[in-house]
Structure 1
């Protein structure tokens, strides 16, 4: 299952978007606008629109929150690991680098108060985002950053510890343990996503069914197929 268009959810309206342009807007789960034109609905169309709006309002924030929380868990893990290491300038530089690395991912999942935005994508892409893209990048970045920290401390260690080789081996063993801790929170989010994936797909199929009924009654909506059944090969 996939979203062909971006969906923005706010308390007042739902917007179906592409390239920052709104094509469909639903106000207060009752008023329907297509390409800026207000459509007067009969009783059955109003009922379907209400069901469709309520489904999007429940479903989209769940996906966005799961993804955003996963990112935040990864960031907080790395930042907690680096707290107190190096001077303030170095710490600020590392934090900026970490957040810059994840910004491109967060642009696909936006949560600001009670506003939620989900960019066009499939559920498989969401799983890949958490499991195959974000977690390895955070892990690699953390290794690089910690490696730089230990490199900066080597001279001091050599001067203070005559048995430096043994000390350095112990330090790197601790770093590897920290790497495992970093991914723990992400793994929990990925397991949560996998546990919810069947339910997510079922909800999306229900939304697709309601959307199809709306499109049959309102031909203007047929051009903007938001929820689609995407072949597994894609």
Structure 2
């Protein structure tokens, strides 16, 4: 039985490596820092600091700083619109890219573990909620908003490969114990032949693993294509922000895109 479990553990680790690898983010080094948090909805963009909105852009054409409306002429409004649309074109996609890849991996783990035990073990549920919270502190999206925290976009590899990957490893290793307990309980209560059950779970694992592999490969191809675009977009966005800061110097206090 332990031989089977070890092979299952190896498959878990393979999936984790596929899920959490951020080499795709590192294809092109982009030393960009987001100096403040950013929330984007359909009509409003908000630059936030310590939970407070400092800069707000309504409908891509109205600028508020600390709640005060800044009147712009037509030419200045064009710069504001270019900046606002630049944020909309870049940030939501980045947030989706970050969250979707990890959520896919979490779903895969839930499917595999539930396949063994017939239910989601409490230890897995608790651990995965911890992973989700860590992710949502940095990236969050809902039906009508996107959020990204202040952070270095050049160090996403550390966040995903160390912090998130480490938490997922803890969840998986804790769940392996629950799987063994479930299989042991089945054996003691004579719920069928234990070897047949292990074999059946192994087949289910193979099917799920192959489907996850295909999904992750498709996701990897999308990420690889988009990763190279982010540096260029963000650098152009920084240039537009600099133009806007020249028009409205108060924005210097809330510098969002910082290219080093």
Segments of 4+ moved more than 3 angstroms: 84-88, 90-93, 154-160, 173-195
Structure having greater relative contact order (Cα 8 Å, sep ≥ 6): 2
Unaligned runs of 5+ in 2: 1-31
Deviations 1:117-139, CA, capped at 9 Å, x for gaps: 11111222333333333234323
TM-score by structure 2 length?
Answer: 0.73
Q: Which runs of 5+ in 1 are unaligned?
A: none
SS of 1:25's partner is: strand
* Cα distance in 1 between the residues matched to 2:70 and 2:149: 26
1:47, 1:155 → 2: CA distance? 68
Q: 1:130 aligns with which of 160, 184, 189?
A: 160
**Aligned residue among 47, 61, 65 for 1:16:** 47
- After TM superposition, list the pairs within 5 Å mapping 1:44-59 onto structure 2: 44-59=75-90
1:181 Cα deviation (Å)?
6.8
Q: Does 1:30 align with 2:61?
A: yes
2:72 aligns to what?
41
Q: Alpha-carbon deviation of 1:176?
A: 9.8
Secondary structure of residue in 2 paired with 1:41: coil
SS of aligned partner of 2:117: coil
Contact 1:130-1:186 within 8 A present in 2 as well? no
The equivalent of 2:104 in structure 1 is 73
- Within-5 A mapping of 1:1-234: 1-86=32-117, 88=119, 91=121, 94-154=124-184, 157=187, 184=213, 189=219, 192-230=222-260
Distance in 2, matches of 1:136 and 1:182, equals 24
TM-score by length of 1: 0.80
SS at match of 2:69: strand
Give CA-to-partner distance per residue, 1:92-112, whole Å, 9 cap, x none. 553243223321222211111
Residue-pair matches, total: 227
Contact 2:112 2:205 (C-alpha < 8 Å) held by counterparts? no
